Amino acid sequence: MKGMMALVLVLLVVLIFGGLSECKNAKVLDQYSSEYSAMSCREHTASITDFGGIGDGTTSNTKAFQAAINHLAEIAADGSGAQLFVPPGKWLTGSFNLTSHFTLFLHKDAVLLASQDESDYPIIVPLPSYGRGRDGKEKDATVGRYSSLIFGTNLTDVIVTGENGTINGQGALWWKKYKKGQLKYTRPYLIEILHSDQVQISDLTLLDSPSWNVHPVYSSNVIIKGLTIIAPTFPVSPNTDGINPDSCSNVLIEDCYIVSGDDCVAVKSGWDEYGISYAMPTQHLIIRRLTCISPDSAVIALGSEMSGGIQDVRAEDITAIHSESGIRIKTAVGRGGFVKDIFVRRMTMQTMKWAFWMTGNYGSHADDRYDPKALPVIQGISYSDMVAENVTMAARLEGIDGDPFTGICISNVTIGMAAKAKKVPWTCTDVSGGTNGVSPSPCDSLPGQAKTCPFPAEALPIENVELKACSLSVPVRKS
């Protein structure tokens, strides 16, 4: 009997201390909640950890992300929607595809780390409006291009957002390979959404993209807001454009801060004969409350791939700091297409090479099959209510011989020239229009006029979209 009691006592001690040890080492579930603004709220929520995700910065989570999204796509197929929560941690991943009626939500301490392994980015076909990849040093640019880190096509109602969580493209390796001509395909972008409607990308920090950061293409009703986009300036990070709306309509870009190795916002619509044939313009675009640093390129660029046309672009309340040009229109013989009805107002520029730059001689082409008779139409360009300081040259405006840029209007613009500014602040060839209240005095082809330059009074439809107050509540593991 005494032996039996002793055995029972030993077992009890083992169970008690074993249980305490397990409790000490166990991860306790805690409920995490957040509120955010979005085009659509979601009924279903899951965490990437529910699908085997490990945020240690070294374990690949590509399969976990795709499994999670595939699962949520099934339960949200009725339109109720689903959201995937990414908790604090460093989540290494390659390319993964989004789905409709879906939100990807990053905690403020969550970091998506883009894989540097080329095999983690499937090869996809070139965009039809480009006909080939864009990286000029590719060995065979017609074969395809690398898929973007976060990719989606033919979607409805898709959102990528968070609490200023981070997507780190880890682009240094890609930049080096590009410069050495070692890449067969176009580098991945961070976020690319194709052929989609109702898209929101907001409240994120994007770092060191291999190439472009955000690329909505062939899409409509797009909201991009509250982004911080940072990459080393050129030549360290070539072609790291910030936001590139491309053959899109009804787009709002607002409240973004961008430091770029290329253009901060580059508006596009296809390249040469491919863009002409695809014929899908970017139109009804508003850009506001943008701050940009781009020492080697433009704050807002229109083109150079604009062969499908660009029309009705409205930019206001823009701050440009230490950038090559404030607004730049880039095109060439062979582009075709048009850039017209462009309105920019209330822009502040500090330390610029040019305040305004237009060129019809931006000669990079997709291939040698472009039509030299395909001339672009550039007309109806309005700039107003601007102040600039420490500018090397006020404007460089170069149209095309036999195809002048027309309808240029500049009013209420004061440009303070740098101590070592060009002796002739304006150069103008093959352009026409008028100015009002501009200093220093413009060239003769832009004579004084009585009128001020227009800016549309009516709002675009995307400005009237009211974001909803959405919530997220999910169990998270705490050590």
290 close to 253: Cβ distance less than 8 angstroms = yes
Other C-beta atoms lying within 10 Å of the C-beta of residue 93: 24
Do the Cβ atoms of 87 and 49 come closer than 8 Å? yes
The C-alpha torsion from 114 through 116 and 120 to 126, rounded to 10°, is 90
Residue in 99, 54, 53 with CA at minimum distance from that of residue 73: 99
> What are φ and ψ of residue 343, in 5° steps?
-130, 125
What three-state secondary structure class fits 178? helix
Sheet strands (E) in 4-55: 28-38, 44-47
Q: Which amino acid is at 214?
A: V
Catalytic residue among 135, 203, 246, 262: 262
Terminus-to-terminus CA distance in the chain, angstroms? 43
CA distance 304 to 266: 9
Distance CA 369, CA 330 (A): 20
Query: Is residue 382 within 8 Å of residue 454, measured between CB atoms?
Result: yes
Q: Which of 57, 205, 217 is nearest to 124 (CA)?
A: 217
What is the dihedral sign for C-alpha 413, 414, 418, 424?
positive
Structure tokens at 130: 């480009």
Rounded to whole angstroms, how far apart are CA atoms 299 and 217?
20
Our answer to whether residue 109 is catalytic in this structure is: no
Secondary-structure percent of the chain, ordered helix, strand, coil, rounded to 5: 15, 50, 40
d(CA 298, CA 349): 12
Alpha helices in 76-185 (DSSP H): 172-179
Contacts of 35 (CB under 8 A, 6+ apart): 469, 470, 471, 472
Q: Give the residue numbers marked as catalytic.
A: 262
